[in-house]
Amino acid sequence: MFLCVFSEIKSCLIAALIFLLQMRGIFFVSAPFSLIYFGVILFLVYFDLVAEIIGMHDPFSPFETIVHTVLFSSWRKASTTPTDSADTDSHEKTD
């Protein structure tokens, strides 16, 4: 149960990150705090409604799939490609 991160936790972490970046002054949108707060609340309510209406358990899954593919897929292919080619060369020489 510890490794199962729900969408509510992900939403709260994103909101906390937005508020932290805004307080530090490195948030890319220069808007008053109340407007950023309103935007975060709209974001949370919208994703909760979409999850209930569509029946989606995790509205972040499309974004996670893209990020996972970009970050880990190329690394996995790069790490297995030389090993696979070396194995096929050794099998071809023994036949």
Write out pLDDT tens, residues 58-78.
Answer: 777 888 888 888 888 765 565
Q: Is the pTM of this model over 0.75?
A: no
14-44 pLDDT, tens digit per residue, is 889 888 888 888 877 777 888 888 988 998 8
Token representation of residue 82:
């030389």
Token representation of residue 88:
């096929």
d(CA 91, CA 45): 58
Q: At a CB cut-off of 8 Å and minimum separation 6, what does 78 contact?
A: none
| CB-based contact 21:27 (threshold 8 Å) | yes
| CB-based contact 41:15 (threshold 8 Å) | no
